[in-house]
Chain A
Amino acid sequence: MSDFTNNFWNLYIVVLTTLGVLGCAVLLYSQSKYKVAKHNGPVGTTGHVWDEDLTELNTPMPRWWMWMFYLTIVFGIAYLFLYPGLGSYAGKLGWNSTKEYKAELAKADSEYGPLFEKYRQQDLKAVAADPQAHAIGERLFLTYCAQCHGSDARGNKGFPNLTDKDWLHGGAPETIKQTIMNGRHGVMPPMGAALGSDKDIENVAHYVLSLSGSAASDPIKSVFGKSKFGACMACHSAGGVGNQALGAPNLSDKTWLYGGSAETIMETIRKGRDNTMPAFGDFLGESKVHVLSAYVWSLSNETK
């Protein structure tokens, strides 16, 4: 694969580099053959005199130093032959940084792999009770998960709190592992059109608030809203208790992913919500996800 859009630049670099190396060799050779008449004086001079008395001194280099110059030229040629450097020529060894990165990754895997493999073969609850695995899990969490779920795993708006018992897709250890491995995609469709007018949407929102006994719920609007809630029950079930198989949140508790005010709920109903938890299976590998899942589960469960 060439990095150049035009082959001219490839040739340009090849020619410049080659000429440069050859030029150094020619200069070195011609200078090592160069002789000057020896002049007497406190130190040798080259015999060049300017402005009547300005003489050029010659303090000869040691010859081994000259051979070192030749050595650098040989090194340069060998390097350009073995490694990338000459235009888009990949080098005889085929080295590149991607390969080096992969080799380092493989080395790290062979070093730490057995440890993770040991845990992978254990039951998730057993892993959760292991203090070393807990420490590893914490570090993994702080590195890969804390950006969205927070360093304390308590989440942010749109990113679920992982330390409570409220789960969108289920809180069993295996389910958590599945979530991390494959990711989740939660979609709440826009329901504005299905429910009718803005008034209807507001009524439904107040009914939803009443499900968790919220003081902000207007009882009259709530009654009107209840009649419209049928459209929501397909996912959120009767009474709004949610459906973990679909990832539909329980609306009857006090946990709100996007906020629990009437305005926010209306916005959710009107515009819908689309949320993604990315899949980490390919990126981290199953054994690391295993340790991570045990850690996440332990955040909301007693492990002893």
Chain B
Amino acid sequence: MNSPEPQVIRMYEARQEIYPREAKGRYASLRWLCVWLTQLAFYGLPWLTWNGRQAVLFDLTTRKFYLFGLVLWPQDFIYLAALLIIAAWLLFLVTAVAGRVWCGFACPQTVYTEIFLWIERKIEGPRSARMALAKQGPSLKKFSKRTAKHLAWGAVALWTGFTFVGYFTPIKVLGAATFTLAFGPWEWFWVLFYAFATYGNAGWLREQVCKYMCPYARFQSSMFDRDTLIVTYDARRGEPRGKVAKDTGKSVNGGSCIDCTMCVQVCPTGIDIRNGLQYECIGCAACVDACNSVMDKVDQPRGLIRYSTDRAMATGMSAQDIRRRAMRPRVLIYCAGLLIVIIAVASSLAMRTPLKMDVIRDRGSMGREVDGGAIENVYRLQIMNTAEQGHRYRITAQGLPGLALATADEVTLEGTETRAVPIRLRAPHGAGQTGSNKITVQLTAVDDPALTVSETAVFIVPR
């Protein structure tokens, strides 16, 4: 370690603005494909119609969550937990195999930054022009370019905010309300807040989100091992770097790296991948694309910077060996966990009965004696028809000899209706012991016997 320099540093540092150069190549195309797929889904889904209603709608007021043919109720919250478990397993699996590919290709932060950068390039020009513009003093040209950029960003951001709220308020209703600006207070808040967050994150904060705010970026390092694919610089081939030699296409010092710094210029987080794996690296492979195109120009083989593993870099493994190492116990365990949860959720969804019932015994009375010494108990059936079709249901009760309903044994519920239905159950004199008796109340759709649910309850015979 050298002796301390007299220079001082602070506990807080000013941000170094990054002007990423546009990368072109296989991975940039892949990223744009991800941008199109995710954003077509995000912006398009709320406009789809299913059975005369919005196909995907999270109706918070009535607490019903529509997903195409499926209607989920708050009681189905377990599926959200299952979805999160699946997402977590998937995250473990993908990270263990291929590092931060989610960050580099599909994360909304990356996707929106990509869109915002595209707008920035169209208006302010490429990296060099943007850097020059930033250095310039105030001028009409600078002002108009900046204004155009922020207006364009704002438009995308507002559209994004509008789409987001469109998942909670029917988007066509929301669209009609846009013309008269007749949003409710919460709709205003969320459209503007989501738009502001999009604008701020993708336009201003960019890599700062990944470096300082994102918890995922920090804990996924615990899922890395020596066989995880990472974007890496082949130092053994690249060094010693230096200026390009005209005749060989290699550096004058003999290594493959000609120190053109293209990999640094395209980096959205402003790091030099040649320094090895760094926590800032989001695995976007922009440097791979940049280096490959340079290698093509100087007539050297591609892959000086490439997806490889720590172990492969140290031992010089072939690509085939790297692929074979991907099938390691850790990955297989993640696959198995993922498969188990997915199968469990899928079968649970497939076997789900869109009918729920709670049987609530009236607490006010133990049981009353009616004509002929028969005993009556009163219950309230809280029935939830969670499907979208209405049904007529038959109520039956079992568990005591002669137990029968003394009230109407059929009830009709509209689609997605909840109703409390009071019923009286009557057991003949002498049926059941004094005190509590276990019984079962069953509800079955008249037109669909498979649609049935039964609940246990207690029938009390007073002394």
Chain A interface (Cβ < 8 Å from any Cβ of B): 31-32, 34-41, 44, 47, 58, 60-66, 138-139, 142, 146-148, 150-154, 156-157, 159
Contact = CB atoms under 8 A, between A and B. Distances in A.
Given A142-B380, A142-B420, A154-B378, A64 B15 contact: yes
Nearest to B10: A35
B78 interface: no
Closest 4 CB pairs of A and B: A151-B422, A60-B13, A35-B8, A156-B365
Contact of B212 (A31, A47, A65): A65
A154 B367 CA distance: 12
A151 B425 CA distance: 12
A159 B368 CA distance: 13
B364 interface: yes
Contacts of B64: none
Contact of B8 (A37, A150, A151): A37
B12 A150 contact: no
B5 interface: yes
B14 interface: yes
Interface string B360-397: 00101100100000000011100000000000000000
A62 B5 contact: no
Interface of B: 1-2, 4-15, 208, 211-212, 362, 364-365, 368, 378-380, 407, 420, 422-424
Given A63-B15, A65-B212, A142-B380, A40 B1 contact: yes
B15 A62 contact: yes
Given A62-B15, A151-B379, A154-B378, A37 B6 contact: yes
Nearest to B379: A151
Contacts of B365: 150, 156-157
A271 B368 CA distance: 24
Which of B12, B211, B379 has the most C-beta atoms of chain A within 10 angstroms of its own C-beta?
B12
Contact of A61 (B1, B4, B12, B378): B12
Contacts, number: 97
A151 B2 contact: no
Contacts of B5: 37-40
Contacts of A39: 1, 4-5
A152 B422 contact: yes
B13 A62 contact: yes
Nearest to A42: B275
Given A154-B424, A156-B368, A60 B12 contact: yes
Contacts of A37: 4-9
A60 B10 contact: yes
Nearest to B420: A142
B12 A142 contact: no
Contacts of A151: 362, 378-380, 420, 422
B9 A32 contact: no
Contacts of A38: 4-5, 7-9
Contacts of B364: 146-148, 150, 156, 159
A182 B423 CA distance: 29
Nearest to A135: B419
Contacts of A62: 12-13, 15, 208, 211-212
6 contacts: A32-B10, A36-B10, A37-B9, A38-B7, A60-B11, A152-B362
A261 to B, nearest CB: 11
B137 to A, nearest CB: 23
